[in-house]
Chains A and B, each alone.
Chain A
Amino acid sequence: MSDFKLVWKNLMRRKLRTFLMLFAILIAFMIFGVLAALEQAFDSNASSSGDRLMIVNKINFTQPLPISYVQRVRALEGVKQVAHMNWFGGYYQEPRNQITTFAVDPGSYIDVYQSEFEVPDAGRRVFLSEKTSVIVGKTAADKWGWKVGDHIPLNSNIFSQKNGARVWDVTVAAIVTPKKETADANFIALRYDYFDETRSFGKDQIGWMALTTTSAAYNDRLVKQIDEMFANSPYETSTDTEKAFSKAFVAQLGNIALMVGLVVGAAFITILMIVGNTMAMAVRERTREIGVLKTLGFPGPRILKMVLGESLLLAVLGGVTGMLIAAAATTALRGAVGNFVGGLAITPVIMVMGAVMMLLLGLITGLMPAMSAMRLPIVQALGRS
């Protein structure tokens, strides 16, 4: 037998009570895990790169810009590459099977987003040369079982072709893998030239531009210069870092971080009180046994460690199980909400935060009963005068 076994035996002596406490902790960590993953997914969708700049229509990002702007921006000093994109409103088979779909210029798109995705060389060559080819994110490919070379009937809920059809027949040139776990890989990028020549309206218009610069030092100047360049035109622009733009977009949904903080905080304060009170009660019930252990020669600090060990074990068991369930839940949710929030995952950062919270929960709930157990005079514990 070891101290750990003694701690374990104490924890398991009232199985129902321990199970209920574990369940409460599990729920709290599950909520934390899922909400933190959601918040991080929003944040990562909103981040991508602080160095890339986004140019959108000043009215709002749903309004178009003329494609001629691309060359004008590309000509500015400090601009490395400019990619332009158009929201396609894509779905597969059924409108509910939405897939984030953009019409892009293949070469500049891959250049600008090469830090985000790994595009196989063979697939890149096909995408650059074949007008009807598309590149597909791994999540979308896995979800629908697409392979390189597959023909996909890609529907749009916004655009139609000149012949009235709403379906574009495209071929998978490459399946691209995100370089970061949190990057959204539920997407399709089709070629703008194919899209533009077939669509029934909006020709030579683009949705927005993303650009990289030769040095981040140019960014502030370019932000100002680009917006000034198109000021007083029919299509005024609003330029900002991609991160700021995406954060502003996410902010329309509300302050996600604050909501997560409030819900998780409320859950943890409740759990803290429940577990803390139950631990205190459990130790009070064992007052006599603690007295016996001390009588046998167990020093106070060792008793303190054992009681703290019990509360830490409880927090870790409940917390780890809760985080595992959260990981499973985010995996399941990824399929369901992938169109809305990509890259939903329990990341190492969330795991570390969870571990810290488990330690804090264990220490806070166990400290008071552990201290009182350590200080308890033997005579009092044994009920002697």
Chain B
Amino acid sequence: MSDTLIRLAGVEKSFVKGKEKISIFEHLDMTIPRGDFVAIMGPSGSGKTTLLNLLGGIDSPTAGEIQFAGERIDSHSERQLSKWRSDHVGFIFQFYNLMPMLNAAQNVELPLLLKPLSASQRKNNVAAALEVVSLSDRAKHFPREMSGGQQQRVAIARAIVSDPQMLLCDEPTGDLDRTVADEILGVLQLLNRELGKTIVMVTHDPAAARYAKRTLHLDKGKFVEREELAA
């Protein structure tokens, strides 16, 4: 098995607005090894979120190849991509995106509804995921009853509950104060170091980027600098 988890080759992404063709990426190459923790930084409009969407299979490139563990995902159908996401990718959003009518345990359980697991297996997995983010005592709490940091921990538990290889984080601390942000980033770092999760994190925050093993700077659809950071 290759050590490369993700490989982008000649990826182009553009869309048409009115009569104008707007190009986000013209020829983007990128490689992310298994077990990496990459921070992607860049000014607004640089294409960070679009890149994350492409990596997560929720958007498709105009041209080029995207490989995940040697398998091309850019040619997958919608249904194949849904299955692929549920098997391999966990998503963490800036605003948590929890279901307000479900409690913490039910929110975490959502991805497991797509797996052939019994109710007791799902319950065990949910308990384990909440344990990882130190929220076992909040399992029955609803999002409105929790702080931002706790909600983001629930979102992390939801992202890891089905044991994906890769976590994609879109500004995961953008809505949190410094102290709570550091706690969340500490959890992500733990998941990377202890559980070997490959993490790609988009952030504006240089302090957040310091938790990653390396930072890629994106500007006008191109990586302008590559900085290898010591773990």
Q: Given the known A-B contacts A1-B113, A12-B101, are A300 and B59 also in contact in the complex, defined by CB atoms under 8 Å?
A: no
Q: In the complex the two chains form, is B114's CB within 8 Å of A296's CB?
A: yes
The answer to whether B97 and A289 have CB atoms under 8 Å apart is yes
- Interface residues of B: mostly helix, strand, loop or mixed? helix
Write the chain B residue with the least CB distance to A374: B78
Interface segment out of the listed B25-33, B61-69, B81-89, B214-222: B81-89
Against B, the Cβ 8 Å flags (1 = close, 0 = not) of A270-304 are 00000000000000000011001111111110000
Whether A71 is near chain B, meaning CB under 8 Å from some CB there, is: no
Residues facing A in B109-149 (CB within 8 A) are 109-111, 113-114, 122
How far in angstroms is the closest Cβ of chain A from B55?
12
Residues in B whose Cβ lies below 8 Å from that of A300: 78-79, 82
Please tell me if the beta carbons of A378 and B58 are within 8 angstroms of each other in the complex.
yes
Closest residue on chain B to residue A297 by CB atoms: B86
- The answer to whether A1 touches B109, judged by C-beta atoms less than 8 angstroms apart, is yes
Main secondary structure of the interface of A (DSSP, over half): helix
Q: Establish whether residues B101 and A10, one from each chain, have CB atoms under 8 Å apart when the complex forms.
A: yes
B102 within 8 A of A: yes
A3 to B106, CA, bound (A): 12
Contact B82 A298 (CB under 8 A): yes
The chain A residue with its CB closest to the CB of B112 is A1
| Whole-angstrom CA separation of A1 from B83 in the bound complex | 20
Whether A379 contacts B59 by the Cβ 8 Å rule is: yes
Distance of A310 from chain B, by nearest CB (Å): 12
In the complex, are the beta carbons of A13 and B114 less than 8 A apart?
A: no
- B165 in the interface (beta carbon within 8 A): no
Residues 5-38 of chain A, each 1 if its beta carbon lies under 8 Å from chain B, else 0: 0100110110000000000000000000000000
In the bound assembly, the distance between CA atoms of A280 and B78 in angstroms comes to 24
Which chain B residues (20-58) contact chain A, with CB distance < 8 Å? 49-50, 53, 56, 58
Bound form: Cα–Cα A292–B91 in Å: 9
Count residues of chain A with CB under 8 A from any CB of chain B: 24
Known A1-B113, A379-B53, A379-B59; judge A296-B101 contact (CB<8 A): no
Contact of A295 with B91 in the complex, beta carbons under 8 Å: yes
Contact A9 B102 (CB under 8 A): yes
B-chain residues with CB within 8 Å of residue A295 when the two chains form the complex: 56, 58, 85, 91
Given known contacts A1-B109, A384-B53, A385-B49, is B114 in contact with A298 (CB within 8 Å)? yes
Q: Which residues of B contact A13 (CB under 8 A)?
A: 100-101
- The listed residue (B53, B101, B114, B158) touching A9 by CB distance below 8 A is B101
Known: A9-B101, A13-B100, A384-B53. A297 touches B114 (CB 8 A): yes
Which chain B residues border A215 with CB–CB below 8 Å?
Answer: none
Choice from A3, A378, A384 contacting B113 with Cβ under 8 Å:
A3
> Is the pair A299, B53 in contact by a Cβ cutoff of 8 Å?
no
Cβ contacts under 8 Å, B79 to chain A: 299-300
What's the nearest-Cβ distance from chain A to residue B144, in Å? Answer: 12
Name the B residues within 8 Å of A384 (CB-CB): 49-50, 53
Q: Give the chain A neighbours of B101 by CB distance below 8 A.
A: 9-10, 12-13
Contact A1/B58 with A296-B85, A297-B114 known, Cβ cut-off 8 Å: no
Contacts of B50 in A (CB 8 A): 384-385
Q: Say yes or no: is B195 at the interface (Cβ < 8 Å to chain A).
A: no
Residues of B within 8 A of A289 (CB): 97, 99
> In the assembled complex, how far is the CB of residue B175 from the closest CB belonging to chain A, in whole angstroms?
14
- Asked whether, in the complex, the Cβ of A296 is within 8 Å of the Cβ of B102, the reply is no
Chain A proximity mask over B147-168: 1 for CB below 8 Å, otherwise 0: 0000000000010000000000
Q: Which residues of A contact B100 (CB under 8 A)?
A: 13
In the assembled complex, which residues on chain B have CB atoms less than 8 Å from the CB atom of A163?
none
- The residues of B that contact A12 with a CB separation of less than 8 Å are 101
Instruction: List 13 interface pairs A-B (beta carbons < 8 Å), by A numbering.
Output: A2-B113, A9-B101, A9-B102, A10-B101, A289-B99, A292-B99, A293-B110, A296-B85, A297-B82, A297-B83, A300-B82, A378-B58, A384-B49
Starting from the known contacts A296-B111, A385-B49, 20 additional A-B residue pairs (CB-CB under 8 Å) come to: A1-B110, A1-B113, A1-B122, A2-B113, A3-B113, A6-B113, A9-B101, A289-B97, A289-B99, A292-B93, A294-B58, A296-B158, A297-B82, A297-B86, A298-B86, A379-B58, A382-B97, A384-B49, A384-B53, A385-B50
